[in-house]
């Protein structure tokens, strides 16, 4: 079992739960949301992000690379991603910092030390730490995640778990004693559309949500809204019906409007992203209208955004 890799430690985050938080993003996810804004979160291993616009074709990485993944052809860098073993040897040779490796191992102690630096901010704002991804609940070494949660709680710091719920319920049960809240996504309620846009069935996700609620977990439900993909009135009505039928208890609902700030990261990973531009940012009044749909059904504490 390998230690889950971290690809970002976001300090002073105000979008991943209550107050000011440190969000730790782990690599690796079994889902493939078409609109994922952290594509470097999807694979479990380390990988090179190449910021081509910064590259001056100096050839430093050509000399540094032990597996000859870089060549200069006609004055331009050609990078062979299939050869790259993400060893990082080329990073120091790249003066314009066109290269970065996504994914780093940390011990629990190292993470807790980093987290504790902002203790005063958590205390003053009612914040804490959010473990996110990727899918932290699908980490191969779940004991690491549990130990991290325990260590953070020992410091008196709140722990939120940001999850798609796509894992066994036993995994959720293991972190539940240390999780103050689950930020839980329903990305799409229709099973066929879920398979189409996210790559997997949503049966487990919906079942786990009901189980968490029945077991008394605090849940903030998060509903990403991507016009042309999900968030239709029919979708929202089905989500409301599901929540009502299953008596799912929610402390908060967050309607998350689509944004495309991850687009540039896809280029850095040599992956395509919505090349036809069919995903658009929903207008503010549309988000307000969706919010009202939930309010009409008696749901409260509904926020637009994270
Ligand atoms: S990370 Fe290592 S293998 Fe990949 S391009 Fe750089 S030196 Fe080569
Ligand atoms: S070292 Fe950096 S700037 Fe130089 S060729 Fe490689 S990627 Fe480009």
Q: How far is the CA of 83 from the centre of ligand 2 (A)?
A: 16
Predicted confidence (pLDDT) per residue in 83-136, tens digit: 999 999 999 999 999 999 999 999 999 999 999 999 999 999 999 999 999 999
Label residue 304 by pLDDT band (50, 70, 90): very high
Q: Is 90 exceeded by the pLDDT of residue 277?
A: no
Supply the pLDDT for residue 196.
95
Q: Of all helices (H) and strands (E), which one includes residue 23?
A: strand 21-26
- pTM of full prediction above 0.85: yes
DSSP one-letter code for 248: -
Least confident of 146-160, 207-221, 273-287: 273-287
Tell me the sheet residues that pair with 182.
161, 219
Q: Give the mean pLDDT of 272-277.
A: 88
- Strands 158-163 and 99-102, sheet pairing: unpaired
Report percent pLDDT > 90 for the chain: 94
Mean pLDDT of all residues belonging to the chain? 96
- Pocket of ligand 2 contains residue 225 by CB under 6 Å: no
Residues 221-227 have a mean pLDDT of 96
pLDDT in tens, 256-273: 999 988 888 999 999 999
Give the distance from CA 35 to its chain's centroid.
Answer: 11
- CA 260 to ligand 2 center in whole angstroms: 27
Is residue 161 pLDDT above 80, yes or no?
Answer: yes
Measured in Å, residue 52 CA sits from the centre of ligand 2 at 9
pLDDT average, residue stretch 145-163: 98
Give, for ligand 1, the residue of 51, 67, 269 to mutate: max count of ligand atoms closer than 8 Å to Cβ: 67
pLDDT at res. 53: 95
| Class of the CATH-defined domain 6-44+103-304 | alpha beta
Parse the chain into domains and list their residue ranges.
6-44+103-304, 47-102
Answer whether CATH 3.30.70.20 is correct for domain 47-102.
Answer: yes
Q: Which of 236, 247, 248, 238 is nearest to 292 (CA)?
A: 236
């Amino acid at each position: 079992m390998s230690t889950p890799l971290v690809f970002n430690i976001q300090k002073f985050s105000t979008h991943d739960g209550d107050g000011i938080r440190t969000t730790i993003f782990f690599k690796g996810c079994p889902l493939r949301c078409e609109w994922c804004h952290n594509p470097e979160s999807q694979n479990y291993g380390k990988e090179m992000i190449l910021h081509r616009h910064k590259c001056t074709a100096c050839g430093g990485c050509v000399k540094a690379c032990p597996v000859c993944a870089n060549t200069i052809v006609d004055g331009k860098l050609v990078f062979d991603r299939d050869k790259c073993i993400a060893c990082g040897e080329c990073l120091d040779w790249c003066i314009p910092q066109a290269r970065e490796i996504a994914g780093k191992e940390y011990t629990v102690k190292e993470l807790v030390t980093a987290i504790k630096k902002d203790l005063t901010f958590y205390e003053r704002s009612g914040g804490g730490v959010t473990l996110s991804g990727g899918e932290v609940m699908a980490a191969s070494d779940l004991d690491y995640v549990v130990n991290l949660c325990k260590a953070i709680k020992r410091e008196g710091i709140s722990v939120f778990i940001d999850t798609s719920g796509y894992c066994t319920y036993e995994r959720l049960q293991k972190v539940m004693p240390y999780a103050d809240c689950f930020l839980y996504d329903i990305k799409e309620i229709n099973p066929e559309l879920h398979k189409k846009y996210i790559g997997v069935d949503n049966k487990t996700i919906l079942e786990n949500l009901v189980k968490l609620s029945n077991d008394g977990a605090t849940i903030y439900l998060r509903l990403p809204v991507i016009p042309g993909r999900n968030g239709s009135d029919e979708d929202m009505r089905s989500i409301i019906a599901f929540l009502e039928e299953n008596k799912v208890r929610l402390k908060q609902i967050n309607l998350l409007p689509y944004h495309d700030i991850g687009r540039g990261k896809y280029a850095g990973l040599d992956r395509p992203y919505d090349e036809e531009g069919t995903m658009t940012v929903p207008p503010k009044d549309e988000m307000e209208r969706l919010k009202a749909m939930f309010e009409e059904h008696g749901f409260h504490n509904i926020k637009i955004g994270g």
